[in-house]
Amino acid sequence: MATTTRPIITIIGLGVTGASLGLALVNTNVQADVVGHDKAPDATQAARKLGAITRGEWNLHNAVANASVVVLAIPLSEVDETLGLIAEDLQPSTMVIVLTDVLQPAATMLATRLPGHNNAVVGHPIVIGPAASLTARPDLLEKAVFVIAAGATTAPDALELASNFVETVGAQPLFMDPVEHDGIAAAVTQLPQLLSASLMHYLAGSPGWTEARRLAGRPFMQGTEVDKSAEHLYATLVANRANMLVRLDQFQRELAAWRTWLESAGAAESSDPLQTALADTAHERNAWEAQAQRKDWDPTPVADTSTSSHGIIRQLFLGNLGQKKTPPPKGD
């Protein structure tokens, strides 16, 4: 009796994001082997025990051999080298998805390391919650925004397949131009990380830190939380330097305004600019948090697709290319 070889989905990098993707795939009963690889053997072992992968593979080349989909869920600082190592192991039809929080540099790496490979995209899953509380779980990306961006040679079918992959793990695909994404990410992803690092650096280097650290409570913990390693944060800041410099200049002007408001607080008999700014800020922050907790950014009701067949299973593993969705043209 002939044996049927199951398709392979390989996840490189088994941290919170990679392991959560594996758990989501396994929980959908996707008809594929979910192979995991991480340079840290403990991470692979933990993912296997958690049920996030069906097989761990310590050898990177063996991990991606004959894979239908390869997901890189690793720091940007490791993407270029990893792509170079696996380039000759990939089939022309292999779907490659690079996950990172700055997309254009990753897209450039794809074009350089995999020239002519038109089945590759970059993506950024948006995870909500304090870094300290994030653990791998199958619903981590449920209804989460998952940005997908095309590279220079990405085929439309690859974007469609990537979108179906995102929907399979329960997330909501959002097509964006990588340059546009990185300009926004500089403000909402990297600027908060840089400000957290700078606040910690400033206070830890001040003469009064020995005593001040004893008074540092919840606001300090929240304000100095950085969920990236120093190496990873350095790589993303440098890769997105031009956008970050613009955002820093803008924030310096904003900070100067707050200094002025604080200096003049209580002096005017009419409205107080500082009090008004604080009230407006609290309102906007609460509105954003409510939407983030609901994971609902569109007032238009979205049809429930929980009972429909997952797109990637239709297209990749069952061969049914019906019910296609056409993503917007590049740059939209």
- Residue 310, exposed/middle/buried by CB under 10 A (0-12, 13-18, 19+)? buried
Q: What are the backbone angles phi and psi of residue 63, rounded to the nearest 5°? A: -65, -35
Does residue 320 register a pLDDT over 60? no
- Look at residue 271 in the predicted model and tell me its pLDDT: 80
Would the pLDDT of 329 be above 80?
Answer: no
pLDDT of res. 325: 46
Q: Does 47 or 307 have the greater pLDDT score?
A: 47
pLDDT for 69-107, tens place per residue?
999 999 999 999 999 999 999 999 999 999 999 999 999
Q: Identify residue 317 by its one-letter amino acid code.
A: F
Per-residue pLDDT tens digits for 130-171:
666 788 999 999 999 999 999 888 999 999 999 999 999 999
Tens digits of residue pLDDT in 27-40: 988 889 999 999 99
- Residue 2 pLDDT class (50, 70, 90 cuts): very low
Mean pLDDT, the chain, integer: 87
Overall average pLDDT of the 299-327 stretch: 43
Phi, psi at 238, each rounded to 5°: -65, -40
Q: What is the mean pLDDT of residues 306-314?
A: 41
Asked if 173 and 148 touch (Cβ cutoff 8 Å), the reply is yes
- Higher-confidence residue of 298 and 110: namely 110
How confident is the model at residue 294, as a pLDDT?
A: 86
The pLDDT, as a whole number, for residue 163 is 95
Q: Is the confidence at residue 332, as pLDDT, over 50?
A: no
> Quick one: pLDDT at residue 319?
37
Predicted local confidence at residue 131, as pLDDT: 64
Q: What is the pLDDT of residues 257-308, one digit of tens each?
A: 999 999 998 876 678 899 999 999 999 999 999 998 888 887 654 444 443 4
DSSP string, 230-298: HHHHHHHHHHTHHHHHHHHHHHHHHHHHHHHHHHHTTT-SS--HHHHHHHHHHHHHHHHHHHHHHT---
User: What does the pLDDT read at residue 300?
Assistant: 53
pLDDT of the residue at 308? 41
- What's the number of CA atoms in the CB half-sphere (13 Å) around residue 281? 8
CA distance 231 to 239: 12
Task: Give the pairing of strands 120-125 and 145-150.
Answer: antiparallel
How confident is the model at residue 310, as a pLDDT? 45
CA distances from 275 to 219, 257, 258, 265 (A): 20, 13, 11, 8
Burial tier of 326 (Cβ tally within 10 Å: 0-12, 13-18, 19+): exposed
Q: pLDDT > 70: what percent of the chain?
A: 87
Query: Which of these, 64, 59, 67, 52, lies nearest to 8 by C-alpha position?
Result: 67
Domains (range + CATH), the chain: 8-177+302-317 (3.40.50.720), 181-266 (1.10.3660.10)
Chain segment 205-256, per-residue pLDDT in tens: 999 999 999 999 999 998 998 877 899 999 999 999 999 999 999 999 999 9
Which residue did the predictor score with more confidence, 273 or 320? 273
Q: At what angle do helices 41-50 and 16-27 cross, to 10 degrees?
A: 30
